[in-house]
Chain A
Amino acid sequence: MAGAAEATRGEVRVFAEYDRDFEEETDVVVVGSGPCGAVVAHQLAQAGRRVVLLEEGPPFIPSEFELEGSKSMSRTMREGGLRSTRGSILPTMQAIALGGGSLVNSAICVRPPEAVFQRWATGFDLEITNRETLDRHYDEVADFLGIAPTPEEVQGRRNTLFRDGCDALGYGSEPIARNVRNCRGSGECFTGCRNRAKQSMDISYIPAAIRHGARVLTSVQVQEVLREGSRVTGVTGRVAEPFSGRLGHRFTVRAKTVVLAAGCMATPVLLQRSGNLANRSGQVGENLQFHPGVAIAGFFPEPTTPQFGATQGYQSLHFLDEGFKLETLWAPPAVMAVRMPGFGHPLQEIFADFPNMAVWDAIASTHKSLGRVRARRGTLDPALTWHMHPDDVPILKRALFVLTEIYFAAGATKVTPGVNGVPEILYSRDEADVLLNHPIQASDLVCGGNHAFCTTRMHGDPARGVVDEYGRCHDFDNLYIADTGIFPQCPSVNPMFTGMALAHRQAEAILDRT
């Protein structure tokens, strides 16, 4: 890569430095600095292309991280962390920060099994999106970010108890591979890693892209993609004040190639607000899928010291064929407490048991549960609708049952399943049968939907999808999409790694074509 050595060092611009309207011209403009956008920006800058990376949120440094759950969410998440779908109510969070979701996720990197790609290939006319062709891209991203299984010394008791329970029942489990270097087990992944161990994009790919000449403009909100005839020509928008979102100076970035990496929610909204761009298929904003998640808490006779250990250190892929994946979990106590039953002294007694608690969760592949993303007037925040299909509810019921089973196998004395209509506390494995036998409806479950997909899905047939297998829009040959919106279906495992591998491949395709 000759350009790499010769490139002038790039720079970051922050909110305080915008004092007038401005225009820029570049080879490639990337909208969104999350895992996919950061990878594309880095790869192209490394190859010598002039790259401008745009991000609506600000960069965070450790002193800016709020340790209290709600304060952290209101600063780092869109709509203060209170975004949710209509239809079936599902809270969903998207980050607004340099580095996107990687700043406040738990760094899980999992390659989906071959079966997922086979499903994608047959259902969506895909030819080159499989483990064999993608493994090279996974490997390169893994090398760059130091992705490795969580080491034993920072697992902490609440993670190893999960392993013990799985072992006792004969269920497979393994340490979660994460983009983390030298983790100290602070359990603060969701509020920002003060230890700078998590290789979020703001401290990994983005500084490297800047070293290779990329210009990173933060606190800028892209409002429209510009087009002339059959090509897009850049983007335009306004400077946005951190947290308040107040809009200021106008800007335009003209580019030969535009990459939208604004996320599964914002990218379709941006296309819709740009004159329903790239939507000859009618699929922009459609097919919204999540991995609905349920989390339950178990309480043990001995302390679990839950504040110590990797945020999510252990997982089980044993039940992927049944449609769910199991994980350990930690978050600020106030966030974990939201799911606890009751109020008054009984609730305080449950809180007092937190030092003996472990929380584990399941994420489900609910392929029949679909929704859509629509632009709203006067804002870039999307209107989301999503409906849990009745056929998908049994997957979550079964997942709750299995989690409860693992708790009791690991020695828990009580479990709080958090399901309406069943006992608030279960005291034995036998009592857990109620989770299978009780007629649970979707509205009885308290679910969260943090992974979102498919709103600009890839499809081999231009009439049925928005982008091709390289993320290039079928309708415009210089407009690309690089985020989880291009997944044809939910991947059954955490999506960040696959998104980055696809983005890595996309960057090579852009280099080949430009």
Chain B
Amino acid sequence: MVAGPAVFGRRAGLRQDHRFESRPERLCYGRVVFWILLATFLAYTIWRIFLGYPQPRRAYRIVAPREVAFLEAAGEATFPAGGAIPLSGRDADLPGYADGFLESLPRHLRLQVRAMLMLFEQATIFFPAPGRGGRRRFSSLSEEQRVAVLDGWSRSRLFLRRLAFTALRAVLTMGYLGHPIAMRHLRLAPLDFPSPIVEADLLYPAIGARKDSINWTEADLCESDGTPLDPNGPIHPSFRGDER
């Protein structure tokens, strides 16, 4: 059935009234509110993710100030001072470790690890810490709140949350236990011993160098004598100092 002119007229009239009287005001008001809300949201998001972080004590090649703040906060919560090992997470220079670790990763994996750090820093929005201000960024929480947040991740019923926690703690632990002070305290620092010169050493240069940089000759060839190492022997030079 085809609609007659009267019908169109009524409909047109309704549309006209709506357009020129009440709707423009509502639209205008609504748009203003929408843009204000959007701008506020964006400003808050930008501030929350990027701004308000203290300047790191030293320069890093990869990690940003927000990641430094998070790693120090998470390191302190995971390995607090006064524990059984005379090295706290904050003193272990975990940002320095993460900087080197990230630099060694392929780009897509570097992005994934950095995304994980951001997830933990920002996820307090969805998984808040108990107490006042529990939705602040992880690095802005109190010591007790950080511990509670990490505990929530580690004991979550959601497999992916537990998995994310395991991944984060792996990064922190690698940095912490790789520190010379921790390794020496545990008496687990690698030992120092000479490497025998074998046929392969006459073939392969250091990575990045040319073969003409090889200084060994056949006269240098020797092999392991098989004498068991002394666990109390001298430790490797890279674990003798107090910095990684």
Contacts and interface: CB of A to CB of B under 8 A. Distances in A.
Interface stretch (B11-19, B118-126, B199-207): B199-207
Interface string B153-171: 0100001001100100110
Interface stretch (B20-28, B65-73, B227-235): B227-235
Nearest to B100: A71
B2 interface: no
Interface in B210-244: 210-211, 223-229, 231, 236, 238-239
B64 interface: no
Interface string A56-90: 00111111100111110011000110100000010
A418 to B, nearest CB: 10
B140 interface: no
Contact of A343 (B150, B175, B186, B191): B150
A61 B195 CA distance: 10
Contact of B231 (A63, A308, A352): A308
Contacts of B224: 181-184, 195-197
B187 interface: yes
Contact of B195 (A12, A67, A194, A307): A194
Contacts of B199: 203, 207
B104 A182 contact: no
B228 A338 contact: no
Interface string A186-202: 10100000111100001
Nearest to A306: B188
B208 A196 contact: no
Contacts of B227: 184
A463 interface: no
B192 to A, nearest CB: 10
A196 B223 contact: yes
Contact of A348 (B85, B207, B223, B228): B85
A153 B227 CA distance: 9
Contacts of A58: 207
B142 interface: no
Interface stretch (A13-21, A127-135, A450-458): A13-21
Interface residues of A, number: 70
Interface in B179-202: 182-183, 185-191, 193, 195-196, 198-201
B147 interface: yes
A165 interface: no
Contacts of A183: 224, 226
Interface string A333-352: 11101101011110111011
B174 A338 contact: yes
Contacts of B174: 68-70, 334-335, 338
A166 interface: no
A307 B228 contact: no
A165 B166 CA distance: 30
Interface size class of B (residues with CB under 8 A): 35 or more
A210 interface: yes
Interface in B95-153: 100-101, 104-106, 109, 112-113, 147, 150-151
B1 interface: no
A113 B200 CA distance: 34
Interface stretch (B33-41, B43-51, B76-84): B76-84
A16 B208 contact: yes
Contacts of A12: 203-204, 211
Contact of B228 (A154, A181, A333, A343): A154
B209 interface: yes
A352 B226 CA distance: 31
Given A67-B238, A338-B169, A351-B186, A89 B198 contact: no
B211 A185 contact: no
Contacts of B162: 420
B234 to A, nearest CB: 13
Contacts of A352: 84-85, 185-186
A443 interface: yes
A124 interface: no
B229 A184 contact: yes
A245 B229 contact: no
Contacts of A340: 173
A271 interface: no
B113 to A, nearest CB: 8
Contacts of B101: 70-71, 74
B204 to A, nearest CB: 4
Nearest to A15: B208
Contacts of B208: 15-16, 242
Interface in A109-165: 153-154
16 contacts: A15-B208, A16-B208, A67-B236, A80-B109, A154-B228, A181-B224, A182-B224, A184-B193, A188-B190, A203-B200, A333-B183, A334-B177, A343-B77, A344-B147, A348-B85, A351-B177
Chain A to chain B: the 9 pairs with minimum beta-carbon distance, closest first: A182-B226, A348-B83, A59-B204, A352-B84, A74-B104, A182-B224, A62-B195, A334-B177, A203-B200
